[in-house]
Structure 1
Amino acid sequence: MGRPDRPDRPARAWQFVSRPDLTPPVITSTVKARGPLPLEPTEGSDVFLGPKDTDTSVTMQGELIVDTQGDPIWVNSSPVGTFNFREQTYQGKPVLTYWDGNSTSYGHGDVVILDDTYTPIATVTTAGDLGPHQADMHESAITPQGTMLLTSYPEVRADLSSIGGPKDGWVLEGVAQEVDIATGAVVFEWRSLDHVPVSDTYQPLAAGQGTQANPFDYFHINSVQDVGPDQVLISARHTHAIYEVTRQTGSFTWQLGGRQSSFTFGPGATFAWQHDARLQADGTITMFDNEAAPTSSRGLRLSLDLAAMTATVAAQYLPPTARDAATQGDVQVLPDGNVFVGWGQEPFYSEYTGGGWLLADETFTAGTSYRTFRAPWTGRPTTPPDAALRRSGSGATVYASWNGATQVASWRVLTGSDATSARPVATVRRTGFETAIPVKHPGAYVQVQALDASGAVLGSAVAG
């Protein structure tokens, strides 16, 4: 029997004649426009996923961009799962970023930055006392200052006697580090043990934990946001808390949630095991509230009254049926005011109005995606298109695709006895990742050309 909101069917993969090595998941809608408003999901922007976890029958692991219809745009398969794959801006230009490393519930690795040709242009990692390659997968946000916010989980000694553990024990500390992308220099660092006691945790100390071989994850830092010239916002899953931290001293301006919350909560406003806490332009806080009981995991938006020190629900973003996403997940406020939710452990993503009306809910059926994002993307791969020719009697079908190219409007087929004699015989509109083009009486030589909206040739390939 499947989970309550997980489709009880095997995952389906796309199959491409021109790229048989690529097997992205088929994405389907579970519901459209659930609500009274005649609105549609955000058009003209794409979805960025990181399908992973082979034990869930996922069809691929790696980086995946799909369009608003769920058709693949760029598929980058990897033997290991990816985290935090998204579009960002660096030095005024759009880039792609993703975390690469070894992971369990935390990780050791680096963040890779690609330009719009999908070429790596930088690798960002931890520095200072942490040393290199200690970046955890939970955060990789680029700031307007050309820095990147990272998380790390160093193993350090700590007194665990307050929670029934050894006095000379070991924990995974939560560290936020801001690194200059160009130079690799550390410009800010914050460590949880300097400000949050082990006794603030809600995570049970299991038998055998708290040793050097099995350090206790008391904090579990999972998001860091630059929220002003002197503040950062930090979320910790295992303390059920979000902290506004002063850069200069590392102390808290306030704490939202947890054992020492600065705020009193209104009805339905409490949260637990959360991910992806973000301060929005209107002063509200968004997060993915993983705790499901007694209803469902949810996207959550809280209004903070900093005079009365109260937190109340501004909006919540609920799935069409109960959805228990115990781990991962994110909430993204889009430029048009809509809200995009990635369901982390569950293979879904959804879009809502700012007030919480569900506009669309999509599933990739199996696997997980740490976070899921929506943003416009223009890709210009340096690799050529791919083309395959399948002959049948006197005719043939040409299958054309170009992984990552977003500006192809149509495909043109040329054929002849050789390249010199080849002439155009068909031009068809691009239809999804791969376009099938029937050709009558093809010659020995067949070429396809990718055309932009004006008819200019972007690239070409010989179909074999």
Structure 2
Amino acid sequence: MHRLELLTLLVSLGYAHVLRTPSIDNPALLEARKDGYDDNIVKIDANAPDHNQDFYRFVTRPDIDAPRWNIQKHNESAIAPGYWFLAPYQDPRQKERGGGWVGPHIYDGNGELIWSGVPMLNGFDAFDFKVSNYKGQDMLSMIYRHENGILINSQYELEEELDVQDEHGGRLNMHDFSLAENGTTALMLKTFTRSAEQAELDAADMEYECRVHYYGFEEHDIATGEVLFDWRSQGIVGLEETVFAHRPKLACHRDGGLDYIHANALDKFPDGDYLLSARHCNALFKISAKDGSIVWRFGGKKSDFKWNGHFSGQHHARVRGQNSTHTMISFLDNAYVPSAEHVYSNDMSRGFLIALRTDQEHMTAETIAQYDHPDGGYAPGRGSYQTLPNGNTYVGWTSYSLFSEYDADGNLILEANLRPELKSYRSYKFPWVGHPAELPSARSVAVSTDRNSTVTTSVHVSWNGATEVATWKVYHTKADGSSEKLLASSPRQGFETALTFPGYAKHVVVEAYDSQGKALGKSDVVKTVEPLNLYNAAVLEEDRWQQESGKGFSANIAPAASSSTPLMPISAGSFGIAFGFGILCCAIGILVGFLLWRARFATQMTKWPWQRASYEKIKEKDDADETLVGEETDQMFQKKRVPDEEHHTLSRDSSEGSEV
């Protein structure tokens, strides 16, 4: 009978498929650290020559440096629809703002950027970034800077901000932030540190004092902030259950205390109880919502289930379904616990879907599905396991930000990764509709071409987070946004689209349209960067358009005041030639006038006082200093007379020297 109950549950959850047999296509294992968690700070040189091969750079958003994907689609028709959600992190203990790639990101199914949260979150880490339903609306949820759980609406505006309210000094745990009860409550993990009680030490045969990291969780009413349930591990999960640190005495005083349980996932059962993942116990606990006691343990030193499998260092445990006989759960088996006595428990990491039979005294577990690491490697720390609406499974492996998607039969159909240094705590796939509150960003540049004879204008536009844009249109306009005229249109080409048109428009505005032709949003008026040749015909024509459109009539249909025949419009080329000829004539006239004035000045006009010493002849007087002609001028213009004899000698010497 219980098999029928299990089959019914599997069918209702979309899991009635043949179990996949584990296999290793690539036996190479990833080398993992054995001395602790991966706490390395990721440093990316944005000025490296190969940087643009691994990151997107945008003309309109230089503040965004989004990672590029390496993608392999093995069966594209089987891939589930949806966007990719992940948050590359720089340092799990980040204190300062990171690079333009640090934080939450949304990509489409081809790896094109949809939204970067870097500008909004100021380049700080985010964890457990995903879509959650709040008040009947899809929201972006995440843990921000280890400080708060936050909800962001579809306009990318902060909707709610939550934190744990622990009277014992507990602080928010970065691993999990989920909504429950149809999005009305929030589940948050917390951590607090204190010295272990003597009874706890005795139960674990620890003959020394020990500082311990204890864990707990809270369920909050989001609307009121009221704490509906509060649980702490101290006194419930004993120190003897840990598998972490085969030298516990050292761990008691390292990093502030013994991390004996390391809670990293929290979910709620349909019956109201809670599922807690304790990584450093290699166990999943069902916690009673009535009194906080442990209903059952799956895995670890005190497991209540008989199962022919094993797991260790697990992440992202979730309740998938429940009926009177069985409970369905899923989780990522990292198969790796740093500093544990047995570091590896399997030859690769894998995702598990497990059916737990709980209606009998001797409870049992059965593996329903298993999804192996696509490279036969490990997810040393962190990771995720998600079931998709069409029955596919989506697994995040953290390292390289690698994720993989499997169809309902367990076949690998998609895998993608970033450059090796980049890691994302979890990876998800969700449907999403984004309508940004901010306006589209645009930049317009005009360039002279064909030896400055023509001008081409290029306009780049993007709209961070917009999912519904199908077409962009750029309009010619004035500085105040009036007198719009369509210049060019283009289908959306990715996060950023380039539109070009011949000619020059001093001011432009760009507007987004959806697939039905509905206008979605418009950029601010953008001033075009001018071309080098400001006397190009296109530039002159633009100046003429700006002036005439400001007068309230069209440049091409301006009627004459005294005639019924309209004036013929002047072409851009004719206008440019006439303008240049006029400038040339003016220059010639000025030059001729200056030469005539100079000639007259030299022959007729009285010389300026400071020029007289140079131009007046010296009066001939013997053996005396003589004042120059124009004695009425200032004494500063006096000059000593050269004697006639000396003058003649100089003249003669000069003459002789010229003959040599």
Say whether the 8 Å CA contact 1:88–1:95 is kept in structure 2: yes
Per the alignment, in what secondary structure is the counterpart of residue 251 of structure 2? coil
1:40-119 pair list within 5 angstroms? 40-43=78-81, 45-53=82-90, 60-77=101-118, 78-102=122-146, 109-119=147-157
One-letter amino acid of the counterpart of residue 295, structure 1: D
Question: 1:404 maps to what in 2?
Answer: 465
Say whether the 8 Å CA contact 1:155–1:212 is kept in structure 2: no
Distance in structure 1 (CA, Å) of the matches to 2:427 and 2:99: 16
Distance in structure 1 (CA, Å) of the matches to 2:331 and 2:77: 24
Say whether the 8 Å CA contact 2:169–2:192 is kept in structure 1: no
Question: 1:28 maps to what in 2?
Answer: 70
Distance in structure 2 (CA, Å) of the matches to 1:58 and 1:390: 28
Distance in structure 1 (CA, Å) of the matches to 2:292 and 2:204: 25
Distance in structure 2 (CA, Å) of the matches to 1:79 and 1:434: 21
Question: 2:243 maps to what in 1?
Answer: 202
Per the alignment, in what secondary structure is the counterpart of residue 431 of structure 1? coil
Question: 1:237 maps to what in 2?
Answer: 279
Larger % of helix: which?
Answer: 2
Larger % of strand: which?
Answer: 1
Of 121, 136, 140, the match for 2:173: 136
Question: Deviation at 1:444?
Answer: 0.9
Question: 1:420 maps to what in 2?
Answer: 482
Say whether the 8 Å CA contact 2:471–2:490 is kept in structure 1: yes
Call closer, same or farther: CA 1:302–1:449 in 2, change over 3 Å: same
Say whether the 8 Å CA contact 1:242–1:256 is kept in structure 2: yes
Of 268, 277, 297, the match for 1:255: 297
**Deviates most, 178-187 or 253-262:** 178-187
Say whether the 8 Å CA contact 1:318–1:356 is kept in structure 2: no
Deviations 1:163-202 (A, max 9, x none): 5655432111110111111222110112112321100000
Distance in structure 1 (CA, Å) of the matches to 2:315 and 2:252: 24
Residue 367 (structure 1) aligned with residue 422 (structure 2): yes
Call closer, same or farther: CA 1:213–1:445 in 2, change over 3 Å: closer
Per the alignment, in what secondary structure is the counterpart of residue 285 of structure 1? strand
Distance in structure 2 (CA, Å) of the matches to 1:4 and 1:58: 27
- Taking only aligned residues, the RMSD between alpha carbons, in angstroms, comes to 2.5
Deviations 1:220-262 (A, max 9, x none): 0111111124311111000000011111121222210000000
Per the alignment, in what secondary structure is the counterpart of residue 199 of structure 1? helix
Deviations 1:5-43 (A, max 9, x none): 99xx9770001111111011111214523xxxx852111
Distance in structure 2 (CA, Å) of the matches to 1:166 and 1:281: 43
Say whether the 8 Å CA contact 1:237–1:274 is kept in structure 2: yes
Call closer, same or farther: CA 1:309–1:277 in 2, change over 3 Å: same
Of 217, 239, 242, the match for 1:176: 217
Say whether the 8 Å CA contact 1:222–1:275 is kept in structure 2: yes
Per the alignment, in what secondary structure is the counterpart of residue 144 of structure 2? strand
Distance in structure 2 (CA, Å) of the matches to 1:343 and 1:230: 30
Residue 126 (structure 1) aligned with residue 164 (structure 2): yes
Distance in structure 2 (CA, Å) of the matches to 1:175 and 1:221: 8
Aligned residues: 446
One-letter amino acid of the counterpart of residue 51, structure 1: P
Per the alignment, in what secondary structure is the counterpart of residue 371 of structure 1? strand
Call closer, same or farther: CA 1:52–1:400 in 2, change over 3 Å: same
Residue 186 (structure 1) aligned with residue 227 (structure 2): yes
Say whether the 8 Å CA contact 1:341–1:351 is kept in structure 2: yes
Per the alignment, in what secondary structure is the counterpart of residue 153 of structure 1? strand
Distance in structure 1 (CA, Å) of the matches to 2:502 and 2:168: 64
One-letter amino acid of the counterpart of residue 217, structure 2: A
Of 380, 384, 390, the match for 2:439: 384
Per the alignment, in what secondary structure is the counterpart of residue 89 of structure 2? coil
Per the alignment, in what secondary structure is the counterpart of residue 228 of structure 1? coil
One-letter amino acid of the counterpart of residue 106, structure 2: I
**Deviates most, 240-249 or 286-295:** 286-295
Identity of paired residues, percent? 29
Call closer, same or farther: CA 1:341–1:369 in 2, change over 3 Å: same
Per the alignment, in what secondary structure is the counterpart of residue 117 of structure 2? strand
Per the alignment, in what secondary structure is the counterpart of residue 303 of structure 1? strand
Q: Structure 1 length normalisation: TM-score? A: 0.90
Q: Structure 2 length normalisation: TM-score? A: 0.64
Question: 2:541 maps to what in 1?
Answer: none
Distance in structure 2 (CA, Å) of the matches to 1:310 and 1:127: 37
Question: Deviation at 1:54?
Answer: 5.8
Say whether the 8 Å CA contact 1:149–1:177 is kept in structure 2: yes
Deviations 1:374-413 (A, max 9, x none): 1111111111000112322210221110001112111001
Say whether the 8 Å CA contact 2:212–2:259 is kept in structure 1: yes
One-letter amino acid of the counterpart of residue 153, structure 2: D
Question: 1:433 maps to what in 2?
Answer: 495
One-letter amino acid of the counterpart of residue 296, structure 1: M
Per the alignment, in what secondary structure is the counterpart of residue 366 of structure 2? strand
Distance in structure 2 (CA, Å) of the matches to 1:270 and 1:164: 26
Any stretches of 5+ residues in structure 1 without a counterpart?
A: 103-108
Residue 356 (structure 1) aligned with residue 410 (structure 2): yes
Question: 1:264 maps to what in 2?
Answer: 306
Question: Deviation at 1:207?
Answer: 5.5
Question: 2:648 maps to what in 1?
Answer: none
Say whether the 8 Å CA contact 1:5–1:322 is kept in structure 2: no
Per the alignment, in what secondary structure is the counterpart of residue 111 of structure 2? coil
Question: 1:284 maps to what in 2?
Answer: 328
**Deviates most, 343-352 or 374-383:** 343-352
Distance in structure 2 (CA, Å) of the matches to 1:76 and 1:171: 35
**Deviates most, 435-444 or 278-287:** 278-287
Question: Deviation at 1:272?
Answer: 0.2
Question: 2:356 maps to what in 1?
Answer: 304
Question: 2:516 maps to what in 1?
Answer: 454
**Deviates most, 238-247 or 59-68:** 59-68
Per the alignment, in what secondary structure is the counterpart of residue 280 of structure 2? helix
**Deviates most, 223-232 or 377-386:** 223-232
State which structure, 1 or 2, has the greater radius of gyration over its C-alpha atoms.
Answer: 2
Question: Deviation at 1:99?
Answer: 0.7
Say whether the 8 Å CA contact 1:128–1:186 is kept in structure 2: no
One-letter amino acid of the counterpart of residue 176, structure 2: E
One-letter amino acid of the counterpart of residue 340, structure 1: Y
One-letter amino acid of the counterpart of residue 427, structure 2: T
Deviations 1:135-181 (A, max 9, x none): 11111111125110010110122144665655432111110111111
